[in-house]
Amino acid sequence: MALENESVAADQGDPNDKDPNRRDFIHIAAGAAAVGAGVMAAWPLVNQMNPAADTLALSTIEFDTSKVLEGMQVVIKWQGKPVFVRNRTAAELQRVRAEGAVGSPAEPDSARTKAGHEAILVVIGSCTHLGCVPTFNAGDFGGWFCPCHGSHYDASGRIRKGPAPLNLVVPDYEFTAGSTVRIG
Amino acid sequence: MDRPMNLFKTVAAVLIAAVAITATPAMAAGGGAKHPRSGGFSFEGPFGRFDQGQLQRGYKVYREVCASCHGMNLLSFRTLGERGGPFWDPHAENAAANRYVRALAAEVQVADIDTETGEAIMRPATPADRFPNPYPNATAGAAANGGAFPPDLSVMAKARHDGANYIYSLLTGYVPAPAGLQINPGQYYNPYMAGDMTPFWTGDPSHVPPGGFIAMPPPLADGQVTYDDGTAQTVDQYSKDVAAFIAWASEPHQVQRKQAGVGVMIFLLLFLGLTYASYRRIWKGVAH
Amino acid sequence: MSDHESTYVPKTGIERWLDSRLPIVRFGADYMSLPTPRNLNYWWTFGAILMVCLITQIVTGVVLAMHYTPNVAMAFDSVERIMRDVPGGWLIRYVHANGASMFFIAVYIHMLRGLYYGSYKAPREIIWILGCLIFFLMIATAFLGYVLPWGQMSFWGAEVITNLIGAIPMVGEPILIWLRGGPAIDNATLNRFFSLHYLLPFVILGVVVLHLWALHTAGQNNPVGVLIPKERTAKDTLPFHPYYTVKDGVAIILFMMMFAFFVFFMPNALGHADNYIPANPLQTPAHIVPEWYMLPFYAILRAIPDKFGGVVAMFAAIGILFVLPWLDTSKVRSMRYRPTMKIFFVIFVLVGMGLGWCGAQLPDAPVVPGMASFVLLDGELNSYLWLTRLFTAYYFAFFLFIMPIVGLRETPLPVPASVSEPVLSGGATPAAAVAQAEKKG
């Protein structure tokens, strides 16, 4: 390498030069590529925390609702959470229908069940306040009562009293054959 | 020593030495076994892809022949319908909704516990289920097979050197034991099997036959499995297909891996070019 | 470079507020402007490459621990679940597994660079010793990590290596049982190995900080090997950034290309196929070998006919590196000016590779098949056993005899008076060289 003194070096694009106009395009491009490489390297590290394929594969379950006696509920596990399948009595049905659209958001009972299977209610059994499991057939409205912070749900799973902000969630489900439902 | 070329040469030399050192024991471990024949597989090399038809035929051979003794415990039926898998359907992104996968799973019975009675039951498999094991445990598998447990095939192509070619060679490699080789009942001679025949050889000591004994009788026969797509129904073709299927099952993401690799290498090459240009610019005229 | 004065000037009020409370920005700025010898070649980039390797291993390792299960019944399957079901898990696992090999490639080059250019000599003994400690911790960490997938090689590697402890007279057996948590390698062993494998990389990181602290106190060595006096700092050094950030950057990208090639196109080439067979305590694989980076030390272990002697020799092979600064009697640092020593160094590198080669062979196998041989003491002369012994003898002789004796007897070439001198005049005057050599003693 031929030696030149420092001042010559400075003239030929001193990289310490803070003036962006004088800054060489090539350094910006290399820097941008480095940032790109960092982002590309970071993505798999973030993405790996998403649900794995075997976890996602368990996202669908089937259940025969004829196993639920009238006036009772069966709790099944779906995606690690409890799902209430409740077969409501005529009296309970009458009561929730008579109340019209209530809860938050205000909904009639018919919006929360499937046509032809009105007695069967399928809701995710986790309180919309902070996730506790509400107690069956308790509270002021004949539905569920959450023991953690005192939320009252009616027999349609709608929030009627207490701190919970929303009705119990009705999951995506459909009746596949007769009384069998597929959730998810 | 300042030039990247020299550095590159050195790194390359170290790399080659490292590979050579590691590759050696693998070959030594084969003992006197014959080097596997090439199955001419489509998935070899950095740009290789699986032939989906071959994977489907391979699954059929596994299910109808191998599965009676060999488990594939790490595989789920849903995996068959994942991207790049034998029954991947572009219209069913979710493998659990793939109709082929659902139908194939339902053909197989898996053990479960009845959620109401708590009793052990058998039910048709769903896509989320794993392939059932043919034996309740390894001891039962060994007892039913003269003391040799048929190994699980989930990662077999990774667990043997030159996996796919080895499986293909082994399945097609059965030959009658050469005269002078003492062979016990329940054993078969295979020149591709690992082993050392010296203690069993009564012939010329300088010509010990290659290979070893295997407890598995030749599993395939011409015409044994029906192919619907007109492919030849021969032992050679069955072996190739099932070897390809096991190679896929051992690493279902391998094609995705190689495709990602091509992209990464192109990016790194561009990144290197830019950084090297920046380096030349910064060091221009600086004595060192 | 400890006397490098801070040139950081806080510009805004917030910067001044922070600087008077926690001068972390000043620390970073001073690090970036650190005067660095201007003549560092590409062999000096492996320090930065190693930093990248360590961070890569820690980050991917923490992520893998989110999915791995340290239980003998589930470990193997949980690793395969990472490969199959975890989003992008195959990439992370292959980076971690191949990363270990990359780490060792880089560390061996880094150590040989230090050996060649005399980077262990005064005033840099502590840097070298800390580096040896890092190397030792790396071996321990790599061994512990290799056990975790619970394949055949994992299990039998753990069995064989822990048995080394059992070779210690009297206390060996109780220590062995304590280490394993039982009479054999089992779940207790796997669990504690996982815990320690998670811990040690952070210990390494801590020692790396000390290694760098010592480096910046004593100042970096350079290919010429002469110290840079304070009055020559301006002429002989360049600020670390941007000169060496960009040079390290080029080297890191080249290294990454090799790394990526292994990860994406031959991810299992550096491993052993047997480790994809689940651990079976009742059956040993036909031919067990450690990972390639352990092979030289494994060869030394096998070269000694006595069990305890083999263990001592293996640990001595690493231990001797710690006292290297006091075994070298030469007044000249860089082997560039030590033509005799340079030859011994090249032989040493070849012997090291030869030991690695021998470690992968069966000890009784002939080196040259078919060549006439005879039995010498306990083995055929034409066998890897005797070749390994020859190499082992050279390995120790290099440190114990060649280094001290050659250092005293050789006549070094003239050493330039300063870093810039070879550049300035294309050579050095012998007078200056002698003066310089005297000064360094």
Q: Which ipTM score applies to this complex? A: 0.90
Q: How confident is the model at residue A92 (pLDDT cuts 50, 70, 90)?
A: very high
CA distance B275 to chain A (A): 5
Separation in Å, CA C96 to CA C72, C90, C141: 21, 10, 13
What is residue A1's three-state secondary structure? coil
How far is C116 from C342, CA to CA, in rounded Å?
A: 8
Average pLDDT over residues C435-441: 43
Residues in chain C, overall count: 441
Which residues in chain A are contacts of C87 at CB distance < 8 A? 47-48, 50, 52-53
β-pair type (B120-124, B109-113): antiparallel
**C-alpha to C-alpha distance for C225 and C416, rounded to whole angstroms:** 9
Residue B178 has pLDDT above 50, yes or no: yes
- What is the pLDDT averaged over residues A67-74? 92
* % of chain B exceeding 70 in pLDDT: 89
From the list B79, B271, B278, the residue facing A26 with the nearest CB is: B278
Q: Which fold has domain C42-288?
A: Cytochrome Bc1 Complex; Chain C (1.20.810)
- Smallest CA–CA separation between A19 and chain C, in Å? 16
Given this model, what pLDDT does residue C230 score? 87
Higher pLDDT, C78 or C364: C78
Q: Which fold has domain C292-410?
A: Helix Hairpins (1.10.287)
Q: Which residue has the higher pLDDT, C143 or C373?
A: C143
What is the C-alpha separation between B201 and B263, in angstroms, rounded?
53
- Quick one: pLDDT at residue B131? 96
A66 by Cβ neighbours in 10 Å (0-12 / 13-18 / 19+) ranks as exposed
Secondary structure of C181-234 in the HEC alphabet? Answer: CCCCCCHHHHHHHHHHHHHHHHHHHHHHHHHHHHHHHHCCCCCCCCCCCHHHHH
Is pLDDT at C216 greater than 80 in this prediction? yes
Contact A73, A87 (CB under 8 A): yes
Strand partners of residue A81: A78
Mean pLDDT score across all residues of chain A:
86
Q: Which of A171-180, B36-45, B104-113 has the lowest mean pLDDT?
A: A171-180
Report CA-CA distances (Å) from C335 to B82, C31, C112, C114, C368: 58, 29, 12, 10, 34
pLDDT, residue C5, reads 77
What pLDDT does residue C276 have?
Answer: 97
Q: Which residues from chain B sit within 8 angstroms of residue C255, using beta carbons? A: 11
Cα–Cα distance between B279 and C242 in angstroms, integer?
9
Residues in B touching A40 (Cβ below 8 Å): 267
* pLDDT score at B31: 47
Tell me whether the omega of the peptide bond preceding residue C267 falls within 30 degrees of 0, making it cis: no
Note the pLDDT of residue B10: 56
* Domain boundaries along the sequence of chain B: 33-271
> How far, in Å, CA of B283 to CA of C402, rounded?
39
- Cβ separation C273–B163 shorter than 8 A: yes
Chain B interface includes A28 (CB < 8 A): no
pLDDT, residue A13, reads 45
The strand pairing partners of B241, in sequence order, are none
Nearest chain A alpha carbon to B281: A13
> Is the pLDDT score of C293 beyond 80?
yes
Give Cα B215 to chain centroid, integer Å.
Answer: 20
Read off the pLDDT band of A22 (50, 70, 90). Answer: low
Query: For residue C330, what pLDDT is reported?
Result: 95
Note the pLDDT of residue C81. Answer: 97
Provide CATH code, domain B33-271. 1.10.760.10
Residue B170 near residue B70 (C-beta atoms within 8 A): no
- Note whether C436 and C416 are within 8 A (CB): yes
Give B36 to chain C, closest Cα distance, Å.
Answer: 15
Interface residue of A18, A48, A50, A55 to substitute, partner C, most C CBs within 10 Å: A48
Q: Report the C-alpha gap between C319 and C176 in whole angstroms.
A: 22
Q: Is B269 in the C-facing interface, judged by CB distances under 8 Å?
A: yes
What is the rounded average pLDDT for all residues in chain C? 92
Contacts of A161 by beta carbon, 8 Å cutoff, 6+ apart: A139, A140, A141, A151, A152
For A55-183, CATH number out of 2.102.10.10, 3.90.400.10, 3.40.50.970, 2.60.40.1220 equals 2.102.10.10
For C184, the token pair is 């054999």
User: Would residue A27 show up in a list of annotated catalytic residues for this protein?
Assistant: no
Q: What is the pTM of this model?
A: 0.89
Q: What's the CA gap between C253 and B275, in Å, rounded?
A: 9
What type of residue sits at position A15?
P
**pLDDT over 60 at B108, yes or no:** yes
Q: Using CA atoms, how far apart are residues B44 and B21, in angstroms rounded to an integer?
A: 23
Q: Is B100 helix (H, G, I), strand (E, B) or coil?
A: helix
- Does residue B87 contact residue B78 with C-beta atoms inside 8 Å? no
The predicted pLDDT at position C7 comes to 86
Mutate to test the interface with C, among B75, B193, B264, B280 (most CBs of C within 10 A): B264
Q: For the ranges A174-178, B142-146, C30-34, which has the lowest average pLDDT?
A: A174-178
| Nearest C-alpha in B relative to C44 | B2
Q: Are C291 and C146 in contact (CB under 8 A)?
A: yes
Q: Identify the CA nearest to A136 among candidates A128, A146, A127, A122.
A: A146
Structure-token match 């999915």, residue found: C67
Say yes or no to pLDDT of C438 above 50: no
Q: How far is CA B9 from the centre of its chain?
A: 34
HSE (side-chain half, CA atoms, 13 Å) at B239: 23
Q: What is the pLDDT of residues B124-175, one digit of tens each?
A: 998 889 999 999 998 999 999 988 999 999 999 999 999 999 999 999 999 9
Interface contact C66-A54, CB threshold 8 A: no
Q: CA of A52 to nearest chain C CA: how many angstroms apart?
A: 4
Domain boundaries, chain A: 6-47, 55-183
SS3 content of chain C, % helix, strand, coil (to 5): 65, 5, 30
The whole-angstrom separation of Cα B222 and Cα B238 is 9
Q: How far is CA B33 from the centre of its chain?
A: 18
Q: Which two tokens stand for residue A148?
A: 């953690």
Of C36-50, C222-236, C258-272, C332-346, the least confident: C222-236
pLDDT at C424 exceeding the cut of 70: no
The helix/strand/coil state of B130 is strand
Section C171-184 average pLDDT: 93
Per-domain boundaries in chain C: 1-33, 42-288, 292-410, 415-441
Residues 19-58 of C with CB under 8 A from B: 38-43
Q: CA–CA separation, B10 vs C42, rounded Å?
A: 11
Picking from B1, B7, B78 by the largest number of C CB atoms within 10 A of its own CB, the best residue to mutate is B7
Q: Under a CB-based contact definition with an 8 Å cutoff, are residues C207 and C134 in contact?
A: yes
Q: What is the mean pLDDT of residues C324-338?
A: 96
Rounded alpha-carbon distances, angstroms, from residue B264 to B270, C27, C258: 10, 34, 11
Query: pLDDT grade, residue A177 (50/70/90)?
Result: confident
> pLDDT tens digit string along A105-154?
999 999 999 988 999 999 999 999 999 999 999 999 999 999 999 999 99
Cβ separation C92–A30 shorter than 8 A: no
The pLDDT value recorded for residue C354 is 97
How does residue A58 score in pLDDT terms, banded at 50, 70 and 90? Answer: confident
What would the 3-class secondary structure string for C33-77 be? CCEEECCCCHHHHHHHHHHHHHHHHHHHHHHHHCCCCCCCCCHHH
Supply the pLDDT for residue B82.
92
pLDDT of residue A6: 39
Answer yes or no: is pLDDT of C329 > 80. Answer: yes
User: In B, residues 200-229, which contact C (CB 8 Å cutoff)?
Assistant: none
Model confidence pLDDT, tens digit, residues C62-109: 999 999 999 999 999 999 999 999 999 999 999 999 999 999 999 999
Is the pLDDT at C29 greater than 70? The verdict is yes
Q: Indicate the average pLDDT of chain B.
A: 88
* Pick among B129, B274, B288 to test the A interface (most A CBs inside 10 A): B274
For the CA atoms of B254, B259, B263, B268, the dihedral, rounded to the nearest 10 degrees, stands at: 30
Q: Provide the pLDDT for residue C374.
A: 83
Q: Which of residues 99-138 of C touch B (CB under 8 A)?
A: 101, 105, 108-109
pLDDT > 70? residue A184:
yes
Contact between chains at A45 and C84 (C-beta distance less than 8 A): no
Q: Which two tokens stand for residue C396?
A: 């120790």
The pLDDT value recorded for residue A9 is 40
Catalytic residue among A27, A117, A129, A149: A149
- Chain A residues with CB-CB distance to C60 below 8 A: 45
Q: In sequence order, what are the residues at sequence separation of 6 or more whose Cβ sits closer than 8 angstroms to the Cβ of residue C154?
A: C146, C147, C148, C275, C279
Check CB contact under 8 Å for C246 and B258.
no
**CB–CB of A30 and B284 under 8 A?**
no
Question: What number is the average pLDDT over the span B53-73?
Answer: 96
pLDDT at residue A4 greater than cutoff 50: no
